[in-house]
């Protein structure tokens, strides 16, 4: 899967699945190649990350999730910045 070809909404769907899984299970997240590829893509493409966050934030707000926790998860636990 080429994440560059996905819309921000489609990326947000992947993020939402990973986030709710991580928070529901309370375990160390899996490290599937697909998950790592998305994390690497978002970590290295700030504009894509920002657009995905905007799309995902709408879903999070509608479902009553903690936005600060979700953004921390995205930036620190899921997709830290790209190593230079």
**What is the pLDDT at residue 60?**
95
Q: What dihedral angle (degrees, nearest 10) is formed by the CA atoms of 26, 32, 35, 36?
A: 110
- Residue 7's contacts (CB-CB under 8 Å, 6 or more residues apart) are 55
Instruction: Give this prediction's pTM.
Output: 0.84
Q: One digit per residue, pLDDT tens: the chain, 84 residues?
A: 788 899 999 999 999 989 988 888 555 556 678 888 899 999 999 999 999 999 999 999 999 999 999 999 999 988 887 866
């Amino acid at each position: 899967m080429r994440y560059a070809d996905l819309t921000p909404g489609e990326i947000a769907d992947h993020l939402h699945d990973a986030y709710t899984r991580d928070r529901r299970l309370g375990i160390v997240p899996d490290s599937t190649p697909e998950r790592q590829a998305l994390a690497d893509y978002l970590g290295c493409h700030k504009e894509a990350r920002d657009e995905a966050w905007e799309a995902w934030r709408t879903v999070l707000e509608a479902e009553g999730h903690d936005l600060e926790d979700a953004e921390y998860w995205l930036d620190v636990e899921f997709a830290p910045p790209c190593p230079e």
